[in-house]
Each structure stands twice: as C-alpha cells, then as structure tokens.
Amino acid sequence: MAKVLKYAIGLDIAKDKFDACLAVIDDTQKVTIKSSRSSVLNNAKGFQHLVTWVAKYLDKSIPVVFCMEATGIYYEHLAWFLYQKGYSVSVLVPRKAKYYIRSMGIKSKDDKSDAKGLAMMAAQQTLKAWKPLSNQLYPLRQLTRFYQQLQDSRTLFRNQRQALLMGRLENDEITGGLNELIQLTEEKIKEIQLAIQKALQKDPLLWKKVQDINTVKGLGLISIATVIAETDGFALFENQAQLVCYCGYDVIRNQSGKRQGKTKISKMGNSHIRRILFMPAFNVVKYNINPFASLYDRVHARTMIKMKGYVAVQRKLLVLIYTLWKKNESYSPKMLPEKETRLSSFC
C-alpha cells in the first residue's frame, strides 16, 4: 500500500468566500484528490470551518501545506490565521499558478478548478513558505501604497484638466472641481509624506539604516521606505539574485539554435518597487551621478533603447539599497564597481 508523503490544501480566495481542495501525494508520486469545499466564507467562521474540515483527513505525523494566490489583499486574513495556527503556508504569484494549472491540462477556469490546481501544485512541488510582514513594517507598507495611489489620482485629475483646457469649449464648473481635487490630493500627499517619516523615526535602528541609505544622491525618503516596506526589511532574502527576482528585474532570454529572440526583464515581481525606483533612476542619470550614469550610457549605447538603460540603473539602485541595509553603512562610490555585476536570472 502506497505511503502518504504530504497533504496539500489549495485555496482559491475571493473577497467574500473561498474554495478549498485537499490533495495527497504518496511515495509513488501519485497525487489524489481527497475532498473539496466550495463557497466557504472568507471570515473567522469560515476559517474555523476550514481547519475543522481539514483535520478530519490529517495524520499529524505527515506534513501539510496550505497554498493560495496573492490575490490583492483578500488572502491576508486567512494566511495570517493559518500561520498563527502553526501551519505551513505558501503564497504564490498568480501568474506562476496560472502557468502550472495550464501545464496540467486543466482547461476550465473557475474557483473549484483553481483550488484543485493549487492543491496539486503544492503536493508535487516544494514551495517557499510564506512569512507575514512584521507588525512594524506592515503599517509602513500601507502608507507607501496609499502614497502611490494618491499620486495616481493627482496625475489622473491633472490629465483630465489638461484635456478639458485643450477642448473647444471649457466648462468652468468641471475645471474648478478638478482644481479643488488636485489641491486636496496634494495636501494629502504632504500629510502622508510626513506620516511615513514619523513611522520610520519611531524605531531608532530603522531610522539610522534609512539615513545611511539616504546618503545616495537621487534616492529620496519615500523611495527607500517603499523598498524596505515591500521587502519586509529584506528579511526573506539570502542574496542579491533572490531580491532581483522578487522585484521582477531578473532577465528572461529567448534563444533557440540560431534564433535570437528578445531579452527582457520578467516583470513577474513586486511592481510597487519597480515603479518607485523609476524617478531615482531618472534623477541619477539626469544629474550625471556615477556609476549610475555611466551604466545607463553603456546600456543605451549597446541597445539604443533608453528604457533598458533606466531599468539597469533601477536594478543597480535596488542592489545598493540592499547592500547598505545589510552592512549598516552609508554610501561610498567605492562600494559599487564601475561595471554592473551580472546577476543570475535563476532564483
């Protein structure tokens, strides 16, 4: 009789409910679906129902893992609940789960099928364990994300105002309303900037690290705070390559035989970090701050694409922030080699 090696529970989570599927893998590498649940409430009552249902099938001597996708913020409460109960939890980038489910030949796209695919994936693979963001940095992440949302809103209102002014007829009521919204948004942006600074200053050690990183010309307080909050102070990263991969700066090559396809970054990572690092990268190039400006020049000369040069600078800035954080040092140009370090795209 085949011996069960691991239990895996796939969870497809929506705003108000989630679907669950329980699978096992045995020593013959066969995956078997044991049971499933649909439309479980995404609240404390539903969480307890999930644990009670799963307990009926578990052998405490056999490992169990819960697997879910990072769908907005809807997964967070359940992930926290399971983590506090002592279960192993894995949270996947949605695209990664999508490709796996497609490779398994599961053609249907519904909550039940997604939960089944996640359960099979967790059973067959050794997935990275999820760890919640620290209580110290979670509020900081909320502030930095709200700051980005406010910037988006301000840009939207400005574009609408510009479009109205360029039109044949101008509506004074709409123009006045947009002006008020822009002013209110700018005031709120200033408030959130101050709140972010206060959140950093609450912890003297954190504030000291941020001040050390802030010695890099072109890097502002908001950019540094965003990178730190989104990475949980780099707690889960053992090296630069893992960090680069997490942020979506890892390189994807497309080559087979004599055919040479496009080489590009994956963008399968934290978009908040990539976005916040664009302006610092632009500034260090604009004001000719080396070694960033020279890196941009080399990449631009080789590819004739400006954006590739800026992306290379963003990645270098990210690695520099990580280095200064780990070493507890302020910036010195000698810390970075003139030529960009090649990081593996495998992580």
Whether 320 and 224 have beta carbons less than 8 Å apart is answered as: no
Q: How confident is the model at residue 254 (pLDDT cuts 50, 70, 90)?
A: low
CB contact at 8 A, 321 and 220: no
Do residues 140 and 199 lie in contact, with contact meaning Cβ atoms separated by under 8 Å? yes
What's residue 257's pLDDT? 67
- DSSP assignment of 318-336: HHHHHHHHHHT----GGGS
Separation CA 63–CA 65 (nearest Å): 7
Helix or strand run (H / E) with residue 31: strand 31-41
Distance in angstroms (rounded) separating the CA atoms of residues 80 and 91: 11
Strands of 87-142, DSSP E: 88-92
Check residue 267 and give its pLDDT: 75
Architecture of domain 4-124: 2-Layer Sandwich (3.30)
Pairing of strands 88-92, 64-69: parallel
127 near 121, Cβ under 8 Å?
yes
pLDDT of residue 261: 66
Q: Is the pTM of this model over 0.85?
A: no
> Residue 342: what pLDDT?
45
**pLDDT, tens only, 306-340:** 999 999 999 999 999 999 999 998 887 766 554 44
- What tokens appear for 213 in the block? 């990183």
Percentage of the residues of the chain whose pLDDT score is greater than 90: 61
pLDDT digits (tens, 9 = 90+) for 40-69: 999 999 999 999 999 999 888 999 999 998
Burial class (CB in 10 A: 0-12, 13-18, 19+), 96: middle
> What average pLDDT score do residues 168-174 get?
83
Residue pair 265/251 in contact (Cβ under 8 Å)? The answer is: yes
Is the CB of residue 319 less than 8 Å from the CB of residue 240? yes
Q: What is the mean pLDDT of residues 224-250?
A: 88
- Check residue 346 and give its pLDDT: 35
- Answer yes or no: is pLDDT of 253 > 90: no
Question: Residues near 189 by Cβ (< 8 Å), separated by ≥ 6?
Answer: 147, 150, 151, 154
**Contact between 88 and 33 (Cβ < 8 Å):** no
Confidence of residue 343 (pLDDT cuts 50, 70, 90): very low
Q: Is the pLDDT of residue 347 over 60?
A: no
Which tokens belong to 203? 């912890």
pLDDT at 93: 76
The distance in angstroms from the start CA to the end CA of the chain is: 37
d(CA 170, CA 163): 10
| Sequence letter at residue 156 | L
Q: What percent of the chain lies above the pLDDT cut of 70?
A: 93
> Domain residues of the chain, as ranges?
4-124, 135-202, 203-347
Give the pLDDT of residue 340.
47
Distance of CA 211 to the CA centre of its chain: 24
Question: What is the per-residue pLDDT across 199-224, written as a single tens digit (0 to 9) for each?
Answer: 999 999 999 999 999 999 889 999 99
Q: Could you give the CA distance from residue 345 to residue 347 in angstroms, rounded to a whole number?
A: 6
Distance of CA 252 to the CA centre of its chain: 18
Examine the pLDDT at 277 and tell me if it is beyond 90. yes
Whether residue 102 has pLDDT greater than 70: yes
Cα separation, 335 vs 327, in Å, equals 11
Tokens of 138: 């979670």
Mean pLDDT of the chain: 88
* 111 pLDDT above the threshold of 60: yes
148 contact partners, CB below 8 Å, separation of at least 6: 226, 272, 275, 276
